[in-house]
């Protein structure tokens, strides 16, 4: 199985400040079809996960442009340009390139 | 707007079979643009993909659960289901169903989740 390792596991951010989460995979996530199936999900308190970013850097419908994704191969990053109170929760990276699909451990983001 | 809702027993005895249903509303489960997935989350822990089913009935399962899991689709009822046999306390978790958008393999939306506790 592909192991997804997120750092840090916890992040406390002042509103308006940037935040960054790293996700590293144990194998390249570049698929033979040329796409990289790396996703970022946010699970807000008491809610089910919701998609933020798909295929490394594409923002899902309705996701604010303060969220951005980047990376390639085995190293990926989610950045929040200006953290807001609504952004608190657990952030998970996920890979769908290889079966079984696997998630990172999650990064808890809270507001200072 | 498509919505998914999990249903089933909240308590299952060890060694028995966990059975959950996901009802899809606001859209047809038969749409060729989607397939359907189950994910679980033990309390205070991360997410684990269980498997998915296409409307053709073909499936993919997590090898860690493959010998115990069956996912099937019931198109007339607009539902898909999860069966997990020989459960133990380690199977206690919130179980989510989700739609998978084909080509992009996006999990969206997710159901609200249902807690299943394995205990005698």
pLDDT digits (tens, 9 = 90+) for B16-33: 999 999 999 999 999 889
* Contact (CB<8Å) A104/B46: yes
The CA distance from B62 to the nearest CA of chain A, in Å, is 5
Residues A4/A95/B17/B99 CA torsion (nearest 10 deg)? 150
Task: Identify any residues that bridge with B40 across adjacent strands, giving them in sequence order.
Answer: B48, B95
Q: What is the DSSP string of chain A?
A: ---EEEE-SEEEE-TTS-EEEEEEESS--B-TTS-B-EEEEEE-TTS--EEEEETTTEEPTT--TTEEEEEETTEEEEEESS--GGG-EEEEEEE-SSSSPEE---EEEEE-
Contacts of B67 (CB under 8 A, 6+ apart): none
Report chain B residues whose CB lies below 8 A from the CB of A47: 112
The CA distance from A17 to the nearest CA of chain B, in Å, is 26
pLDDT of residue A69: 98
* Contact (CB<8Å) B48/A103: yes
pLDDT tens per residue, range A33-53: 999 999 999 999 999 999 999
Q: How many other CB atoms sit within 10 Å of the CB of residue A80?
A: 22
| Mean pLDDT for the stretch of residues B63-73 | 96
Q: Are B75 and B98 in contact (CB under 8 A)?
A: no
Q: What is the DSSP string of B59-119?
A: EEE-TTTTTTEEEEEETTTTEEEEEE-S--GGG-EEEEEEEEETTTTEEEEE---EEEEE-
Nearest CA in chain A to B62: A100
| Mean pLDDT for the stretch of residues B31-46 | 92
Report chain A residues whose CB lies below 8 A from the CB of B111: 48
Task: Give Rg (Cα) of chain B.
Answer: 14
Nearest CA in chain B to A106: B46
The CA distance from A102 to the nearest CA of chain B, in Å, is 7
């Amino acid at each position: 199985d592909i192991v997804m390792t997120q750092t840090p596991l916890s992040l406390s951010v002042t509103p308006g400040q940037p935040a960054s989460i790293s996700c590293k995979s144990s194998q390249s996530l570049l698929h033979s079809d040329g796409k990289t199936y790396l996703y970022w999900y946010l699970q807000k308190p008491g809610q089910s996960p919701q998609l933020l970013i798909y295929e490394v850097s594409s923002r899902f419908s309705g996701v604010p442009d303060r969220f951005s994704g980047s990376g390639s191969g085995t190293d990926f990053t989610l950045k929040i340009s200006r953290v807001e109170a609504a952004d608190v929760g657990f952030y998970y990276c996920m890979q769908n390139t290889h079966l079984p699909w696997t998630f990172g451990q999650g990064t808890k983001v809270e507001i200072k | 707007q498509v919505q998914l809702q999990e249903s089933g027993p909240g308590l299952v005895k060890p060694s028995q079979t966990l059975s959950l249903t996901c009802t899809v509303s606001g859209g047809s489960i038969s749409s060729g643009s989607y397939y359907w997935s189950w994910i679980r989350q033990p309390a205070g822990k991360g997410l684990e993909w269980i498997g998915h089913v296409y409307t053709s009935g073909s499936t993919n399962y997590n090898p860690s659960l493959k010998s115990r899991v069956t996912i099937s689709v019931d198109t007339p009822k607009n539902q898909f289901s999860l069966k997990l046999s020989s459960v133990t306390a380690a199977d206690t978790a919130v179980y989510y169903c989700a739609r998978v958008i084909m080509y992009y393999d996006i999990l969206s939306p997710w159901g609200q989740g249902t807690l299943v506790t394995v205990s005698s």
